[in-house]
């Protein structure tokens, strides 16, 4: 079992003719993902990474029966690309693009609330169900099939934690990067809810970071609705207020909301052990299993 993607997922890559899109489409296919088409305006009829390219997502879905998309479109056009995915009624759209203006995402967010499509990201590494499918840029070789679910706001931090788990022989059901932007589609709670419902996920790792209140809300959700044990990690304990720490969403406000301590406290209150180091997170997971 897994959540959101598996070997039946049929993927269209938006922006497949660009450098990133082309490279990662190839990597996804190599991993075994069912990439069935690309979509790039003006490039219909071409073939990239062995799959046909269409001018619109609509055409690609029509012709190749795709049900998910991965967006590798530059920030200025990415909002539009996500709208196109949402308006095509896909099951899942994964937006990798970093640097989409927040006001564009506010409009996307409004449209998202009117559709049944799940959006992952933007500014995320994507999602992987080891051995079945990966949609995004995650390095497939560090993951292993197993029974731990992982949800994180950051890419490389995810890799670090997964590496610690895999090294100990602990594999993953599905690993999800939800993205480091202030406005994102799938939230921690959405992912946690799905892991809770997944019969093969025996433990969950949640990696949060400073900024916003998603981690606090997730902590309340864990306390009230989850039986599956969760181990946590929060990045940004040493971040000064008012400074954007790389991710557009990783900022402690001047009033002191969004601090690492508030998130750690909330998780601890919900019975979630929070590691001081990535190694400690792996220790907690090992204890659960």
Partner 1 sequence: MKLHEHQAKTIFADAGIPVPDSRLATTVEEALDAVDEIGYPAAIKAQVHVGGRGKAGGIKIATDRDEAEQYAEEILGMDLKGYTVGSVLVEEGVDFADELYVGVTMDRGEGRPVLMVSTEGGVNIEEVAEENPDAIAREHVDPAFGLHPYQARKVVYEAGVDADVALDVASILSTLYDLYEANDAAEIEVNPVMITSDRDVIAADAVMNIDEDALFRQPDLAEMAEESYEDDLERKAGEYGFDYVRLSGNVGIIGNGAGLVMTTLDLVDYYGGKPANFLDIGGGAKAERVTKALDMVFSDPNVDSVVFNIFGGITRGDEVAKGINEALAEFDEIPKPVVVRLAGTNAEEGMEILSTDLIEVEETLEDAVQRAVKNAEEVTQ
Select 76 or 197, whichever has its Cβ closest to partner 1: 76
With contact defined as beta carbons under 8 Å apart, do 182 and 249 qualify?
yes
Sheet with strand 34-39: strands edge to edge = 47-48, 51-54, 34-39, 10-14, 68-71, 92-95, 118-120
Q: State phi, psi for 241 to the nearest 5 degrees.
A: -60, 150
Is 138 among the residues that bind partner 1 (CB under 8 A)?
yes
Is 26 among the residues that bind partner 1 (CB under 8 A)?
no
Q: How far is the CB of 218 from partner 1 (least distance, A)?
A: 12
Select 62 or 80, whichever has its Cβ closest to partner 1: 80
Q: How far is the CB of 285 from partner 1 (least distance, A)?
A: 17
Is 27 among the residues that bind partner 1 (CB under 8 A)?
yes
**Which of 90, 236, 264, 284 touches partner 1 by CB under 8 A?**
236
- Residue 111: is the preceding peptide bond cis (ω within 30°)? no
Binding segment for partner 1 (CB under 8 A), chosen from 3-11, 53-61, 62-70, 206-214, is 206-214
With contact defined as beta carbons under 8 Å apart, do 234 and 267 qualify?
yes
Contacts of 217 (CB under 8 A, 6+ apart): 187, 188, 189
Is 103 among the residues that bind partner 1 (CB under 8 A)?
yes
Return the HEC string of 144-176: CEEEEEEEECCHHHHHHHHHHHHHCCCCEEEEE
Contacts of 222 (CB under 8 A, 6+ apart): 192, 206, 230, 267, 270, 271, 272
Q: How far is the CB of 263 from partner 1 (least distance, A)?
A: 13
Is 276 among the residues that bind partner 1 (CB under 8 A)?
yes
Q: How many residues bind partner 1 (CB under 8 A)?
A: 68
CA angle 51, 53, 54 (to 5 degrees): 140
**Which of 87, 279, 287, 289 touches partner 1 by CB under 8 A?**
279
With contact defined as beta carbons under 8 Å apart, do 287 and 279 qualify?
no
**Which of 16, 133, 176, 250 touches partner 1 by CB under 8 A?**
250
**Which of 12, 119, 148, 210 touches partner 1 by CB under 8 A?**
210
Is 246 among the residues that bind partner 1 (CB under 8 A)?
yes
**Which of 46, 56, 109, 228 touches partner 1 by CB under 8 A?**
109
Q: Biggest alpha carbon distance in the chain?
A: 56
Is 225 one of the annotated active-site residues of the chain? no
Catalytic residues: 247
Binding site for partner 1 (CB under 8 A): 23-24, 27, 75-76, 99-103, 105-107, 109-111, 125, 137-139, 141-142, 152-160, 163, 180, 182-183, 207, 209-214, 217, 233, 235-240, 242-250, 253-256, 260, 276-279
């Amino acid at each position: 079992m897994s959540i959101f993607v598996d070997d039946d997922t049929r993927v269209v890559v938006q922006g497949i003719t660009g450098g990133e899109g082309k490279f990662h489409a190839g990597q996804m296919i190599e991993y075994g993902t069912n990439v069935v088409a690309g979509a790039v305006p003006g490039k219909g009829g071409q073939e990239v990474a062995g799959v046909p390219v269409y001018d619109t997502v609509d055409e690609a879905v029509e012709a190749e029966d795709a049900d998910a998309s991965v967006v590798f479109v530059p920030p200025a056009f990415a909002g539009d690309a996500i709208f196109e995915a949402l308006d095509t009624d896909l099951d899942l759209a994964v937006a990798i693009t970093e640097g989409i203006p927040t006001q564009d995402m506010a409009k996307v967010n409004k449209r998202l609330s009117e559709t049944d499509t799940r959006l992952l990201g933007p500014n995320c590494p994507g999602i992987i169900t080891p051995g079945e499918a990966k949609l995004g840029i995650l390095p497939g070789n560090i993951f292993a099939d197993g029974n731990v679910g992982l949800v994180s706001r950051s890419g490389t931090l995810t890799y670090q934690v997964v590496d610690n788990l895999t090294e100990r022989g602990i594999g993953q059901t599905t690993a999800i990067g939800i993205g480091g932007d202030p406005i994102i589609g799938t939230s921690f709670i959405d992912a946690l809810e799905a892991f809770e419902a997944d019969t093969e996920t025996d433990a969950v790792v949640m990696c949060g970071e400073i900024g916003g209140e998603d981690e606090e809300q997730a902590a309340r959700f864990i306390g009230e609705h989850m039986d599956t044990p969760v181990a946590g990690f929060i990045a940004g304990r040493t971040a000064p207020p008012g400074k954007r720490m790389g991710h557009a969403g990783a900022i402690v406000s001047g009033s002191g909301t969004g601090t690492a301590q508030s998130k750690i406290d909330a998780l601890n209150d919900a019975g979630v052990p929070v590691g001081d180091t990535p190694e400690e997170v792996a220790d907690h997971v090992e204890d659960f299993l």
